[in-house]
Structure 1
């Protein structure tokens, strides 16, 4: 997909498509490197195309690619209204006006709603090699993420054979691609299969394909528990396609595994799809067929070689990544000498095998982190900056879901904080780099998401608060939940989430001066403003206040010495409201100018 509904296509010569950096800049190595397999999920290498993601562990005898598809969530569209909320709201406001903040905090629990739904994992792609791989040559192992090419690589040697694995997630072709090769003909043998913690069935579909079908829970329950009355959840399918060299053979094992023997190389294509058809369609009403969509994705790349797929991925990715360079130092320290390591007193940790040098002498990123404590290497700051841009490109592209609390990567059926978008800073932080780091297209899923929330949020505003416009609170999910979450007021009761997100709309316009974008964004900003005007009420001193008001996840000691979280007109509220009001005035002036002078 080129361009999109929100952003369109950038002009060929505008500042979104600057001339590529000169050779001196592009030759600087931008690699996250490890000297051993991952011991923990957070040590694995993330790859992604916005919709599909994988964490590459880099194991030797056993390799795992932990897989994600961004529409796999629990639940179904919900009712995000509470007809009893106005009565509870009136009581809370009375207590705040009386200065009884502790009691107001207790009473505000009545305004809480239902919890968000939960982001799920897709599963694992498992590769099993024979035991000889555990006898790899010491010091030959390397694992890296090349930020210039968005490619993860693993290399090691067994006797006189070097084994190489390359992994990338292609946005143009909607596929995760893995190539495995040995340096000697016929040296590659392994077994591959798909698995998942979700309720699923996996089977071989001939000697070159594995098909996995499954479903997400229709509500927040353990995925292997089938309860009466559980609504139909999102269905999914993943297909693994295998290609091997001439001379190699493949067999089916246990009806669900493929065993490759005597090949020079193997290429694996992983595609996946779900029945999710937007936040307003129940999975039971969806007309989408995950199997057909996955087969179509494979069919579309049938004529493309590995080199073709890589070239298309490379061109697409570098069109975004190479828009910005950062140079803080004259030379890169990505290859430090033994002397510099000794000087900086960097010691390898026996508990973490990746704390050491690889065969080519490159120091691992973990060692560079330790070294940074005594030597603030500017090139390491450059690497961190570009890694942040890489993560945004990999987790948010036009047509995908919004980047959630962990981007698109998740290994659990019950992830921390549900892996849900949190609107009291986390979702905003995901997209802060998008404009200043020249990745405006990566914002499109955010704008789609704001638009969806405005639909549900208008009902929440009308029923819960008897207000115009639309509102969103602190926690949301793929169904565009806008009601307060379940829990204490200190974090659940915060109706400023949508307002803070709306500041991204105006910021996007000020960066791009895209008048078509402003025409589409203006109703969202206007609806948010209408809610804020109705949400504020006149306080005892005659000023408009937000009541009740919380400063997200912050408690205070009230004048009576009791802990509380609910009061009125927190600085957070007033700052956001002032910004939104200023922006709607400016946006209206621009719209008037466009209407009067440019059309």
Structure 2
């Protein structure tokens, strides 16, 4: 049954059009999926192979990944399995008797004896940072596939088809056309590779696996099995199986290699697992291989594509009419680095970010780490840790708004997993209830303060992460999730700060410390670099949001009124954000001089993004101060890392500065993007790939202020375009097109039946909706 509602609404901001016609279609009892326009080509492609890992093409299913080099004669496939980690859960990681010294350190900081406080923190609070490689993510291994007698190569192309999540390598040698296809299947929990030629009997390969001396490798006529207890026995145990299935030809074992001769076709299936989740992991692999061997290659491929597209095809984005086949991606990027601009590249970069999240974070898997699931060797940068002072959070800013809510789940589950260790750290280090987490974590859910003070003495990781729990509710309004999952975790994180905050002797206001503004320094009166402070602005901002979210959640659930009363009282006792003499937002208590005015972290703007405490309409003075803060950082060389530049894009979107946001997208492409579009810190770090997606989305739609604001920060360079399938809070899905910088069509699907508060420019309208209703606006 379909009901139609017609409404005419006069709008002052489109006088030349006089009226907007609003046509609302309501579908009852209909779950029919909205049709999505046919996707344009989205290929990252090259005319040459690579011998560099960070120029390969990534595939993944959240658990199993690989980097494909695409070398015809000696293919290298760097294999990854998400739980290949050294180390283990350490219940004695927190410094012994640390809690006895907190009060003394706080007094030193209140007395502005910063260097004495830092020495005491280093000695009495911070655990030693583990040496490189002791708790670290590692590659599963390198799979080599060598093809002899390929001396003459022509018509070469390697490509990642983002629409299908498939990598292909095509080339010609001696008039034979060769095709190699690679994908990683979530439904079948395996990677599948296929080598073919257009003439029979032309596939000749030898294959082997290399890891290290401790790896046990067994080669048979149709498989390579390898296993190891990583970290020299201090880490997970894994088992992996590479199975070869041939059509025609012969297969033998020679010199530790599997040699296939004169085959028409070779299919390779890869499975791997560890004891991280306590499974009978070796038998699981054989069961998985036996299962998929009964399924045809075409069916495996179809199942993979269908599963992937069920997520990816929810959203389409168009800024350019280019088909993407006029220039290889590296050539296209190089043109931009030399001064050109390329809207198709931005369109591709956006969808590549969504591709990477789907490929590295699926329900039931771990969250994406600093490199997603892709790592080369045994000591990746920063161990591929979970850094929870921005990096893992940035990985997931875009999940809900880019219509990938399921991909958010691994991080939400991970936050829950931090509680066990976090309770121990809260009690031992701070004499507090609740749970706490610091800068560095990993798959063992480490929460201890460790390393150096400028990054390690930061007890805000759980508080920041808890924002994601409530964000997920804001998009879904799932009360069962809020009651049984989100609120208990948020409450426990808030409880820590109830105990941890202390009054500032000078003002009587509640502050936190010892703490830092992540990784940044200020100068003392004696000109020394200090990092510790009582009540950095970011601490106040995170706690304010956490307390506010707990209060709202408790009201929604009609529970826990006594605890909410405590939080409301604590909020009244917290200091306000302050503006310095130069008009910028203060980062620390007092007007302290920055040691690095162009520092990559701009932590005190958390209140602008990802929080919504600062806005043009509600806090105009702070809004202007935030703008000056970013301008100051950039004028001193800020934004020099990929993830920092991505955060700046999000900041400028919130500041409604579309052209400046766009300038930083271009800067990201020119300074912090590899030829295969992976982000560089340097080196490769995936958060910049994810952060640019949230930034672009917020340039086109924002919903953090109780309203759906369309085209809030549209740059001049994107005069015409469309985006379909982005999601706003309160369950609204948005499709829109624009021309000559003006909104042309807007379609809003109400998934939950909430009242729609819609803003375009300065005009705001409230429209009551019903669940499943589709509102179409023509401008």
For the criterion TM > 0.5, the same-fold answer is yes
Distance change >3 Å, CA 380–CA 433, structure 1 → 2: same
Give the conservation status (yes or no) of the 8 Å contact 1:397–1:445. yes
Which of 329, 352, 355 is 1:390 aligned to? Answer: 355
Q: Equivalent residues in 2 for 1:120-519 (5 A)?
A: 120-130=138-148, 132-137=149-154, 140-197=155-212, 199-205=214-220, 207-217=221-231, 223=232, 232-245=234-247, 247-254=248-255, 256-277=256-277, 286=278, 288-329=279-320, 331-332=321-322, 334-336=324-326, 363-373=327-337, 374-485=339-450, 487-519=451-483
Q: Tell me whether 1:94 sits opposite 2:94 in the alignment.
A: no
Deviates more, 1:188-197 or 1:381-390: 188-197
Distance change >3 Å, CA 107–CA 380, structure 1 → 2: same
Distance change >3 Å, CA 369–CA 449, structure 1 → 2: same
Give the conservation status (yes or no) of the 8 Å contact 1:211–1:240. yes
Aligned residue for 1:561, secondary structure, equals: coil
Give the conservation status (yes or no) of the 8 Å contact 1:17–1:323. no
Q: Tell me whether 1:111 sits opposite 2:76 in the alignment.
A: no
Which of 502, 507, 528 is 1:537 aligned to? Answer: 502
Aligned residue for 2:517, secondary structure, equals: coil
**C-alpha distance in structure 2 between counterparts of 1:534 and 1:173, whole Å:** 48
Q: Equivalent residues in 2 for 1:552-571 (5 A)?
A: 552-571=518-537
Give the conservation status (yes or no) of the 8 Å contact 1:96–1:568. yes
Q: Given the two structures, how large is their TM-score scaled by the length of structure 2?
A: 0.66
Aligned residue for 2:440, secondary structure, equals: coil
Distance change >3 Å, CA 129–CA 141, structure 1 → 2: same
**C-alpha distance in structure 2 between counterparts of 1:325 and 1:248, whole Å:** 44
**C-alpha distance in structure 1 between counterparts of 2:55 and 2:31, whole Å:** 33
Q: CA deviation at 1:82?
A: 3.1
**C-alpha distance in structure 2 between counterparts of 1:200 and 1:52, whole Å:** 19
Q: CA deviation at 1:17?
A: 8.8
Q: Tell me whether 1:576 sits opposite 2:576 in the alignment.
A: no
Q: Which residue of 1 aligns with 2:730?
A: none
Q: Equivalent residues in 2 for 1:57-96 (5 A)?
A: 57-79=69-91, 80-96=93-109
Q: Which residue of 2 aligns with 1:358?
A: none
Distance change >3 Å, CA 514–CA 484, structure 1 → 2: same
Give the conservation status (yes or no) of the 8 Å contact 1:128–1:190. yes
Aligned residue for 1:199, secondary structure, equals: coil
**C-alpha distance in structure 1 between counterparts of 2:542 and 2:32, whole Å:** 32
Q: CA deviation at 1:213?
A: 1.3
Aligned residue for 1:135, secondary structure, equals: coil
Give the conservation status (yes or no) of the 8 Å contact 2:86–2:234. no
Distance change >3 Å, CA 474–CA 234, structure 1 → 2: same
Q: Deviations over 1:42-90 (max 9, x none)?
A: 1011110001110001112100110111111111210143341112322
Aligned residue for 2:215, secondary structure, equals: strand
Give the conservation status (yes or no) of the 8 Å contact 1:203–1:257. no
Q: Deviations over 1:125-181 (max 9, x none)?
A: 110000x212112xx110110000101110110021011100000000010100000
* Aligned-pair Cα RMSD in Å: 2.0
Give the conservation status (yes or no) of the 8 Å contact 1:91–1:107. no
Q: Deviations over 1:204-240 (max 9, x none)?
A: 23x11111111211xxxxx5xxxxxxx6531111101
**C-alpha distance in structure 1 between counterparts of 2:234 and 2:120, whole Å:** 35
Q: Deviations over 1:336-376 (max 9, x none)?
A: 3xxxxxxxxxxxxxxxxxxxxxxxxxx11111112235432
Q: CA deviation at 1:517?
A: 1.4
Q: Which residue of 2 aligns with 1:547?
A: 513
Give the conservation status (yes or no) of the 8 Å contact 1:61–1:129. yes
Q: CA deviation at 1:33?
A: 0.7
**C-alpha distance in structure 2 between counterparts of 1:273 and 1:39, whole Å:** 27
Q: Which residue of 1 aligns with 2:642?
A: none
Give the conservation status (yes or no) of the 8 Å contact 1:20–1:323. no
Q: CA deviation at 1:593?
A: 8.5
Q: CA deviation at 1:201?
A: 1.2
**C-alpha distance in structure 1 between counterparts of 2:294 and 2:193, whole Å:** 17
Q: Which residue of 2 aligns with 1:352?
A: none
Give the conservation status (yes or no) of the 8 Å contact 1:198–1:215. no
Q: CA deviation at 1:333?
A: 5.1
Q: Which residue of 1 aligns with 2:623?
A: none
**C-alpha distance in structure 2 between counterparts of 1:17 and 1:581, whole Å:** 40
Give the conservation status (yes or no) of the 8 Å contact 2:51–2:71. no
Q: CA deviation at 1:594?
A: 13
Give the conservation status (yes or no) of the 8 Å contact 1:536–1:546. yes
**C-alpha distance in structure 2 between counterparts of 1:538 and 1:461, whole Å:** 19
Aligned residue for 2:515, secondary structure, equals: coil
Give the conservation status (yes or no) of the 8 Å contact 1:237–1:273. yes
**C-alpha distance in structure 2 between counterparts of 1:518 and 1:512, whole Å:** 10
Q: CA deviation at 1:464?
A: 1.3
Flag the structure with higher strand content.
2
**C-alpha distance in structure 1 between counterparts of 2:281 and 2:426, whole Å:** 35
